[in-house]
Amino acid sequence: MDKKFQWNAWYFLLAFSLLLMFQGWWSERQAVEPIAYSEFLKLLKDGKLSELSINNQQISGKLLEPINNRSSFVTNRVDPALAEELAASGAKFTAVRENTLVANLLSWLLPLVLIFAFWSFLFRRLTDKQGGLGGLVSVGKSKAKVYVERDTGVTFDDVAGIDEAKAELEEIVSFLKDQPKYSRLGARIPKGILLVGPPGTGKTLVAKAVAGEAGVPFFSISGSEFVEMFVGVGAARVRDLFEQARKAAPCIIFIDELDALGKMRGVGAFGGNDEKEQTLNQLLAELDGFDPREGVVLLAATNRPEILDPALLRAGRFDRQIVVDRPDRKGRVAILKVHIKRIQAAAEVDLVQVAGITPGFTGADLANLINEAAITATRRGAEQVSMDDFTRAVERIVAGAERRGRLLLPHEREVVAYHEMGHALAASSLPGMDPVHKVSIIPRSIGALGYTLQRPTDDRFLITLGELKNRMVVLLAGRAAEQLLFGEISTGAADDLAKVTDIARQIVTRFGMSADLGQAVLERQSNSFLGDNLIAMREKDYSEQTAREIDLAVRQLIDKAYRRAGEVLQQRRAELDEGARLLLERETITPEDFPPLRPERTAGAQ
């Protein structure tokens, strides 16, 4: 609420109070001076009174003959029974009237003050939520936080693992620092640059690094802050943001989570007055209206580019789309070098090896990994973070925390030991499989009763049909070991079966690797960086006969992989028994503890 309005309201209450006090004082000044009740009784007895007026508290009237220049009188009533006794005593007496001015004022003012305070509280809460701290006057003002170079504190030296994105953004920095160099040939800087990629890959960080390198003001705002309850407020904030940016040019505007603002129109909207649609229309108009020569650069980031409005992505608005993807092995090493400076790491720590056991990790995941490793080292009272701490941190992130308090029955521990050893021996027997790093039967918090950790030697971008089939064999080797040793299967392979089914289905429907169904792509891959939409129905543009052929082909691949897993383990039965006994004894083993886990054997790829 406006402070000026608050002061005016309090002035009004003060003036009203003074008016009531003056009214009471004036009424008392204009009143007739009261006489003693004993004198009233005497005058009444002598017959000197007329025109009496009686109420519950006072008696007033006129004197037949003026006394001391007074022709009227007033007196406060006394209880009649008491008055008779007092009159008989001959004493002079009168009643004292209680002064109720303060009580009357409070009875008027206190309810008004409480009502006004309650109304002010509710109004302030409403205006703060919808219009910020400035109330209704600032409801259309932008909530963008302005950072300058000293505030961002981030440069390109703090960003690693996304060299291609950095190279493209360096042009933006060069333009902001030296505009004439680019304008001499008629070139103009792109109006908008959209950073897309999975969560945690460093989109916001690299945007701050651009501002830090260029040394220009950095306007940062989330797309959700433009969306309000009142229609038109978001559009007003867009206008205000660009007005602020033009005054501070050269500068950078960064809109995080652009999908909250730029979602495709016509999906779930109710006509042209929808608040989100108006806000998006205003953003489109502003992108068309500002001159890139002013030095205003718009950066935006999103994890869901597939739902953005096509009008927002066309050339002339967002001219460039830069993919900030998950880092490869080399990029992970560079990211680890940046973050490892914050902890006391031992000299033995091999970042190349850490990067090898973290495929698919983003920059945020790697930063969390280093922090978890430091916590693990601190928990055991070490002076430095060792390589074993990093391995434990990876296991905690991938498989969950250890739950040594979960006690399994002896038979269950034996089943888990053979299950995990089946995975490990199959992985060491087949070509193209990642080497086994560790095998454990310690239960984990995510529900796993054991796990087999493999360490990739290289980042893979192409996988052959034979390697996909070998992966299926490794996944099914756990259940095959149970069948081979105990003659029955358990529920422990549920997660393995889900992964095997997914691989088999992709072989048939996405990769065109089935001889029966040919090279056709029957199911398309999702373009979402957040993964497949599990709620939506799977797209199906083939007949029921084709669907049956797909199911049969998937089942055939899985059955063949299961039979082959049993054959591999049957050939290594002695090593399976020996490895399971060692695993039951130590709970966790590595290839150094059990040499048969090393990838020295090979088998056919079919």
pLDDT surpasses 50 at 4: no
State pLDDT tens for residues 440-456: 888 876 667 888 888 77
> Which of 228, 257, 275, 420 is labelled catalytic?
420
Q: Given a cut of 70, is residue 29 above it in pLDDT?
A: no
Average the pLDDT over 190-194 and give the result.
82
Q: What is the pLDDT of residue 470?
A: 93
CB 466 within 8 A of CB 606: yes
What does the pLDDT read at residue 132? 45
- Segment 544-565 shows an average pLDDT of 93
Confidence at residue 600, expressed as pLDDT on a 0 to 100 scale? 57
**Are the CB atoms for 473 and 565 separated by under 8 Å?**
yes
Mean pLDDT of 499-506: 93
419 is in an annotated binding site: yes
Which of 317, 325, 215, 209 has its CA nearest to residue 262? Answer: 317
Six-digit token string for 594: 């059990």
What pLDDT, on the 0 to 100 scale, is given for residue 279? 79
> What per-residue confidence (pLDDT) applies to 148?
53
State the fold for domain 410-597. Methane Monooxygenase Hydroxylase; Chain G, domain 1 (1.20.58)
Task: Give the integer Cα–Cα distance in Å for 145 and 221.
Answer: 7
Confidence of residue 252 (pLDDT cuts 50, 70, 90): confident
Three-state DSSP state, 508: helix
Q: What is the mean pLDDT of residues 318-332?
A: 85
∠ CA(127), CA(133), CA(134), 5° rounding?
Answer: 80
pLDDT at position 535 is 41
Identify the band that residue 82 occupies on the pLDDT scale cut at 50, 70 and 90. Answer: low
> 423 labelled as ligand-binding?
yes
- Answer whether residue 553 shows pLDDT above 90: yes
Q: What is the pLDDT at residue 454?
A: 82
The reply, when asked if residue 491 is annotated as ligand binding, is no
Instruction: Copy the structure tokens of residue 421.
Output: 């050893």
Strand boundaries in 137-223, DSSP class E? 145-147, 192-196, 218-222
Q: Poorest-confidence range of 31-40, 345-354, 486-495, 553-562?
A: 31-40
| Domain 329-398 fold | Helicase, Ruva Protein; domain 3 (1.10.8)
Count of C-beta atoms within a 10 Å radius of residue 183: 14
Q: Is 208 helix (H, G, I), strand (E, B) or coil?
A: helix
- In angstroms, rounded to a whole number, what is the distance separating the alpha carbons of residues 437 and 353? 11
Q: Which residue has the tokens 């979602």?
A: 263
Q: What angle do CA 436, 441, 447 make, to 5 degrees?
A: 105
509 annotated ligand-binding residue: no
Cβ-based neighbours of 93, under 8 Å, separated by 6 or more: 36, 37, 38, 78, 83, 86
Higher pLDDT, 103 or 425: 425
Distance CA 210, CA 252 (A): 9
Confidence bin at 605 (pLDDT 50/70/90): very low
Tell whether 48 is in a known binding site. no
High-pLDDT (> 90) share of the chain, %:
16
H-state helical runs in 271-409: 275-289, 310-313, 329-339, 351-356, 363-379, 387-399
pLDDT band at residue 138 using 50, 70 and 90 as cut-offs: low
For the chain, the average pLDDT equals: 77
Is the predicted pLDDT of residue 235 greater than 80, yes or no? no
pLDDT higher than threshold 60 for residue 280: yes
Closest CA to 264 of 254, 255, 274: 274
pLDDT value, residue 307: 82
Cβ density class 193-212: b for 16+ within 10 Å, e for less: bbbbbbebbbbbbbbbbbbb
How far apart, in whole angstroms, are the C-alpha atoms of residue 260 and residue 324?
Answer: 19
Q: Was 204 annotated as part of a binding site?
A: yes
Of 307-311, 341-345, 452-456, 470-474, the range with the highest mean pLDDT is: 470-474
| 8-state DSSP, 602 | -
Identify the band that residue 137 occupies on the pLDDT scale cut at 50, 70 and 90: very low
**Distances from the Cα of 544 to the Cα of 359, 362, 540, 541, 551, angstroms:** 38, 40, 10, 10, 11
Establish whether 100 is an annotated binding residue. no
Q: Report whether pLDDT(580) > 70.
A: yes
Tokens of 370: 């280093």
d(CA 60, CA 53): 5
Whole-number pLDDT of residue 603: 41
pLDDT of residue 266 exceeding 70, the answer is no
Burial class (CB in 10 A: 0-12, 13-18, 19+), 417: buried
Annotation marks residue 585 as catalytic: no
Instruction: Between 42 and 535, name the one with better pLDDT.
Output: 42
User: For residue 606, what pLDDT band results from cuts at 50, 70 and 90?
Assistant: very low
pLDDT given for residue 398 in this prediction: 80
pLDDT in tens, 583-596: 999 888 988 889 88
Strands (E), 43-148: 49-54, 58-67, 70-76, 145-147
Q: In the chain, how many H helices and how many E strands?
A: 20, 12
Evaluated on CA atoms 448, 451, 456, 461, the torsion sign reads negative
The encoded tokens of residue 524 equal 């398309």
Instruction: Assign a CATH topology to domain 145-323.
Output: Rossmann fold (3.40.50)
Range from 40-54, 295-309, 508-522, 541-555 carrying the lowest mean pLDDT:
40-54
Q: Parse the chain into domains and list their residue ranges.
A: 3-101, 145-323, 329-398, 410-597
CB 254 within 8 A of CB 303: no
Give the model's pLDDT for residue 575.
Answer: 92
Per-residue pLDDT band at 604 (split at 50, 70, 90): very low
Average pLDDT on 112-117 reads 78
437 is in an annotated binding site: no
Average pLDDT of 28-40?
63
- The pTM of the full predicted model, rounded to 2 decimals, is 0.68
Q: What is the DSSP letter of 408?
A: P
